[in-house]
Structure 1
Amino acid sequence: MKTLVIYTHPNHRSLCFAFFQEVLRGCNENAMIEEVRVLDLYEEGFNPVLIFNENKRRRDMHADPNLAVYREQLMWADKIVLVYPIWWGRPPAMLLGYIDQMFASGFAYKDKGGLMPEGLLKGKSVVCVSSMKGPVHYPLLWLNNAHKILMRKALFSYVGIKNVKFFEFGSMESPRGRQKEKLNKIYRYFKTVGK
């Protein structure tokens, strides 16, 4: 299983970075995972801003040479792991900018003229590891599960990825947030996933 881990947080001293480290530690101890590649969007200097004009059209984004390395990473991976905070009920703008550019028509899906497109990333799986300041049930009870619906239905299902797992950790700034227990949960999951 080839695993691409995409980390999206500007601070390498954050709890989000600690979750990222546990993902890597578990993957590196898992015999089912043959190789791990990492994309740290902030460290990479990824530009999340969409630019369309007379020279750069949205319909050509799937072939943008500046994004070729990122397309190759997504095609290479069997499992895509996203590690990010939830800010304002959704992933950071940096990750959403990556999604806007990478999951483009002609690469991630193909329009067939009907209601739904043909997803071109079938067979891959996704794990979303996210943390937030608010309580764990806040997205479900207050936001009608908007984060999971955005990621599972509006994005991954649309491009053909049906196997999507969420670790959504709340109360992460609380002294009673059980951070060590949750970090260990992530480590154990990635150490044994695929077995």
Structure 2
Amino acid sequence: MSRTGVYLAHPRPGSFNHAVFDAVVQELRDRGSDVIAHDLCAEGFTPGLSADETETVRAASDSPDGQLSLHRAEVATLDAMVFIHPNWWGMPPAVLTGWVQRVLMPGVAYKLAASDGEPEGLLKAGRALVLNTSDTPADREEIEFGDPLDKIWSACVLPYVGVTDVRRVVFRTVTDSSDEARESWLREARDQAAALLV
């Protein structure tokens, strides 16, 4: 049985991001995946990286913060990951950025080679799916901004920790979307989640 971590980063209950999260979690469970689902805002995950956390390489259990230790231990057991969040200023929300910085630490998610400093990913999760919402039209996103979220996930974060298959879908524009469009996007989210298990 595959184990999938699903992480939601949106502070408002009832948001479309929450609907995507619920649909993905249900689809994966219906298909037999062992799903670890985290609504980071609802759980009160603390995004701020402390000075102590930056001083030394930490092991998964090497934190007095029980929530943080749990997340570090869980991420090492995953076969796949799903991240669901809006595009805010070309970045994930602070809670998810903080999750990346505090959970995907050296010794937990990667290590640096002594000779050249190149990272060696430690996670066994070979696949990840990023589902974003946006109110920026696709052509403007690409022409004016160069799609920074794609670079963050597909170039900077996930390959660094060993994830070689990074998939990403953007649902846009959300604010003025119809009920029909949202239903179509939820079907696509379910299909993408199912494909992650193949």
**1:70 aligned partner, one-letter code:** H
Report the counterpart of residue 159 of structure 1 in structure 2. Answer: 161
Runs of 4+ in 1 over 4 A off after TM superposition: none
Report the counterpart of residue 188 of structure 2 in structure 1. Answer: 185
CA deviation profile, 1:28-62 (whole Å, cap 9, x unmatched):
2214x2x1111111111111011105xx5432444
Give me the TM-score of the superposition, normalised by structure 2.
0.88
CA gap 1:191/1:151 in 2 versus in 1, 3 angstroms: closer
Query: Using the alignment, how far apart are the partners of 1:61 and 1:170 within structure 2?
Result: 39
Deviation at 1:187, TM superposition (A): 1.7
**Contact 1:84-1:131 within 8 A present in 2 as well:** yes
Match of 1:121 among 114, 120, 123: 123
Q: Identity across aligned pairs (percent)?
A: 25
**Contact 1:28-1:191 within 8 A present in 2 as well:** no
Q: Secondary structure at the match of 2:185?
A: helix
Give me the TM-score of the superposition, normalised by structure 1.
0.89
Query: Using the alignment, how far apart are the partners of 2:141 and 2:72 within structure 1?
Result: 31
Alignment size in residue pairs: 191
**Contact 2:110-2:161 within 8 A present in 1 as well:** yes
Query: Using the alignment, how far apart are the partners of 2:31 and 2:170 within structure 1?
Result: 22
Query: Using the alignment, how far apart are the partners of 1:124 and 1:193 within structure 2?
Result: 10
**Contact 1:16-1:84 within 8 A present in 2 as well:** yes
Q: How does 1:55-134 map to 2 (within 5 A)?
A: 57-62=54-59, 63-66=62-65, 67-112=68-113, 113-134=115-136
RCO higher in structure (CA 8 A, sep ≥6): 1
Q: Structure 2: any 5+ residue segments left out of the alignment?
A: none
Query: Using the alignment, how far apart are the partners of 1:140 and 1:58 within structure 2?
Result: 38
Deviation at 1:182, TM superposition (A): 0.9
Q: Structure 1: any 5+ residue segments left out of the alignment?
A: none
